[in-house]
Chains A and B, each alone.
Chain A
Amino acid sequence: MKTCLIVDDSAVIRKVARRILEGMNFKVAEAEDGAKALVQCSDAMPDVILLDWNMPEMDGYDFLRALRQSPSGGSPKVLFCTTENDVGAIARALHAGADEYIMKPFDRDIVSAKLEQVGFPAQANAA
C-alpha cells in the first residue's frame, strides 16, 4: 500500500484529504506543520506528500526546500495544496521541487487527477 503524508495546519482539511486518500487506497499519516512533517519523513519517507503552504513553525515552502536537500528527500512526489493560487506562487513551488499543485478548494476528482499525473493512478495504489 502506498503512503501519503498530509501536511496542513487545518484539522478539517486533513480530515477531508484523509477521507479522499484512504478512498484511493493510500495509507495516510498527518502532520500539522512543516517541522513535524520533517521529523516524520526522517522516520519513514512517504510516497506522496500533500503539502499546505501557510503553516506555523515551518511553512510548506521551507519544508519542501529542506526535504529536497535531505537524504531520500528527493523521492516523494510532493503536491502543494494551498490557497496561494497566483502564478508567482505556483512557479516558486515548482522551482522548490514540487511535482504538482492543487489550488484550494479541491475535490476528489482533482486530487485523483493530480495523483495520476505524478504516477499514482487510483486503481494501482493497493499494490
Chain B
Amino acid sequence: MKILSIAFNTFRENLRDKLLYNLLIFALLMIGSSIIISKLTLGDFDRLMIDIGLASVNLFGVLIAIFIGIGLVSKEIDKKTIYTIVSKPVARYQFLLGKYLGLLVTLLINTTIMTGGLLVVLWARNVTVEGLLFQAVGMIFVEFMVMTAVAMLFSTFTSTTLSAIFTLAIYVIGHLTPDLKTFGEKMDELGRLVMNGLYYTLPNLERFNLKGHVIHHQAISGTDLVLIACYGLAYTAMLLFLAALIFERRDFR
C-alpha cells in the first residue's frame, strides 16, 4: 500500500510537471506531421506514416522516461524531500519501487494518448490498422520499462546531468549492440572479450523494435513476443534490484 501511495504521488508530480506536456505536444505534432510528409511521397504513404508514427511514440516516450526518470530519486535527494519519507516507516526499496511505478503509470497513459493520435492519423488517411501495430506499441512500452529502470539506477548514485548523459548513452548503444558483436569479431582476443562482455551486459534494445515487422506485414510468433517481453522484464528487475542495493546503503547528507 505504501508503494502505491508513493506511486500515486509520483504520478501526480508528473502530471503537474510542464515537461511532460511539452513532450506530449511535440509527439502529437510529429505524428500529425506525417500526414503532410506522406503527401509529398509517391505511393507507400501508409508505410511512411506508420514508421514516423511508431518512431515518434518510441522517441518521445523514451525522452519522458529518461528526463523524468533521472529526476525521480536525485531530485528528492537534492530537494531534501527524501528526509521526510525515509524517516517514516517506509523501507527504502518501497520508496524506489513506488517512484518507478508512478512514472510507469505516467508513461502508460502517455503511450495510450500517443497511440490514439497515431490511430486518428491513420484512420484519417484510410490506412488499415493491423493487430501487429499494437504488438509493436506493447514492445515499445517494455523498452520504456527498461529505460526508466536504467535512468533510475543512475539517479540513485550520481547527479541529474550525469544520469542524463549515461542513460542517453545506454539508449543509443542499446540499439547498436549487434554491431558491438560484429566489431568484436574483427578485433583481437581481448577486444572480442570486451565487446562480447558489453554485448551481453548492455540491454539489447533493438529486440523491442518491431517497426519493420509492422511495415512489412510480417507476423511475429507468440513465443517470440513472450520471450522478448520476459527479457525486458528480467532486465528491468535486475536493474531495480541493483538500484535498491545502492540506494539502501546511501547516506542522505
Whether chain B is bound by chain A comes out as no
B residues with a Cβ closer than 8 A to A are none
